[in-house]
Amino acid sequence: MAGYIRQDIANEIENGQVIKAPPLDAEFNALVAAFSAASGHRHNGTTGEGAPITVVGPSQNVSVSTNSVTPSLTNTIDIGTSLLKFKDVWAAGTVDTGVLTAGAGSVGGSPITTAANTQTLTGKTINLANNTLVATSAQLAAALTDETGTGAVVFATSPALAGTPTAPTAIADTNTTQLATTAHVFAERSNPAVLTSKTVNLSNNTLVATSAQLAAAVTDETGSGALVFATSPALAGVPTAPTAVADTNTAQVATTAHVFAERTNAATLVNKTLSSPTINTPAITGGTIGGAAISGGSVTGITDLAVGDGGTGASTASDARANLGLIVGTNVQAQTTNANITAGTDLQGQGPLTADHNIVNSTINNPSGVTLPTAVANRRVIVVNRGTNPVNIYPELGATIGNLAVNAPTLLRVNFAAEFVASSATQWEGPLYAPDQSSVNITGGSIANTAITGGTINNTGLARL
């Protein structure tokens, strides 16, 4: 640092030493002298004087470079205030400002005046993009030098004129973009002319012509020949029209092609009398068919054949079942199926069966157990064992299977099925397909007139599915 010389040449101010006041004071005095206003730190970039200061301000708002002084943010720092002003500003180049406010003076040799004064501008350009021009049409008209006509100025290319604007009257037969006055129109309407590409309003004109002449004039007609002016014309020759699509049922005119196509299409006849036709797949509602050969189809609206005559007395399936006493769920058991049953342990009440057709897929215990539903007279229940272990089939608590004891089960082997039929609320008959028994003791009876007095049949199984 320029001007500063270290005073502690005896190393009295260092680690491990007792620092005394005289050498410390001498060091501080040398620092104060180095920063004095007359000979202190200059920051001029020379050795010992520090780098130049290029950023100043409480928040370092202003930067100074070799050729510019710039704020840190645009349009945020003023030069002077309304109370504290600089005296003179000298600029050799361009002064670029958004708004220039001056009490007096001149710009480019022309005096600057206040808003209350007037000034005559000569050879100047007023940019209306950032200036406002206030004037009346009369003032602008007085300022214009290339206008035509008189009165207020018109600025629109398609103006909405008011009052009674006037223009020069064109001469007869003028056919240009010149404006036509009412005088020109009045004169032209009484002149004879050959009309080309004109519209003739027949509400206030009379047109005399033949049909041939009118036909030559019409451009949107269809067909050919003389024009038809009547709502119910008497057509002659072979008139044509567009052919309607199949099954069209509107006021459109029908051609012979449409009739020919429609006569081969199927139709629903209601209350019609057919005399000796051949009818293929019709839907006939009521009416009389005399001598007709009917092949296929359906006939409705007839009297249902009574049950006593060998019919059902009905025309719907549900009514037929009711008349014949075959209502599903009332007269005929409605079948339900559960194809994914897991058997429980070998106890009554385990694996409850709720469907009419029950397929046991999982039998973890050996044997496992399932329980029949509540017995209802004439109900049939089928049980199929597709597990890996045999299943004991129990009746509901207090019920009996066959001639077994109350609550006793019957065993169903793997891949076997058994069917049970309830004869009462507590009795199941069956199984109709016998489950496996490891041994069956026979004491008496006969097989095909052969007397059996005892013995054992081992490893039998009946009715494997």
Q: Please determine, for residue 273, whether its predicted confidence score (pLDDT) is greater than 80.
A: no
For residue 312, being part of any structural domain is answered with no
Which of 31, 51, 71 is at the close of a domain? 51
Which pLDDT value is given to residue 316? 85
| CA gap 412, 420 in Å, rounded | 12
For residue 396, being part of any structural domain is answered with yes
The CA-based angle 188-192-193, given to 5 degrees, is: 90
Confidence of residue 366 (pLDDT cuts 50, 70, 90): very high
Average pLDDT on 144-161 reads 70
For residue 285, being part of any structural domain is answered with no
Which pLDDT value is given to residue 465? 32
For residue 71, being part of any structural domain is answered with no
Q: Which residue has the higher pLDDT, 225 or 164?
A: 164
Query: For 320-345, how does the pLDDT look when each residue is reduced to its tens digit (9 = 90+)?
Result: 888 888 777 677 767 889 999 999 99
Residue 352 sits in a domain whose CATH number is: 2.60.120
Dihedral class, residue 137 (left if φ above 0, else alpha if ψ from -120 to 50, else beta): alpha
Query: For 180-208, how does the pLDDT look when each residue is reduced to its tens digit (9 = 90+)?
Result: 999 999 888 777 777 777 787 878 888 77
Which pLDDT value is given to residue 462? 40
Nearest CA-CA partner of 379 in 310, 330, 344, 333: 333
Average pLDDT on 335-360 reads 91
Q: Residue 49 carries which side chain, given as an amino acid letter?
A: E
| CA gap 461, 436 in Å, rounded | 5
Which pLDDT value is given to residue 53? 82
> Would you mind telling me the total number of residues written for the chain in this entry?
465
For residue 311, being part of any structural domain is answered with no
- pLDDT above 90: percentage of residues in the chain: 23
Which pLDDT value is given to residue 229? 63
For residue 414, being part of any structural domain is answered with yes
- Cis bond leading into 431, ω under 30°? yes
Q: Which residue has the higher pLDDT, 292 or 89?
A: 89
Average pLDDT on 57-76 reads 85
Identify the domain containing residue 342 by its residue range.
337-438
Query: For 93-152, how does the pLDDT look when each residue is reduced to its tens digit (9 = 90+)?
Result: 888 876 766 666 666 666 665 555 566 677 778 888 888 888 877 777 777 777 666 666
Q: Please determine, for residue 310, whether its predicted confidence score (pLDDT) is greater than 50.
A: yes
CB 420 within 8 A of CB 430: yes
Query: For 41-60, how does the pLDDT look when each residue is reduced to its tens digit (9 = 90+)?
Result: 667 767 666 678 888 888 88
Number of domains into which the chain is organized: 2
CB 382 within 8 A of CB 358: yes
Which pLDDT value is given to residue 256? 93
Half-sphere exposure of 235 (CA within 13 A, CB side): 11
Number of other CB atoms surrounding residue 401 within 10 Å: 23
CB 372 within 8 A of CB 346: no
For residue 60, being part of any structural domain is answered with no
For residue 258, being part of any structural domain is answered with no
| CA gap 141, 154 in Å, rounded | 10
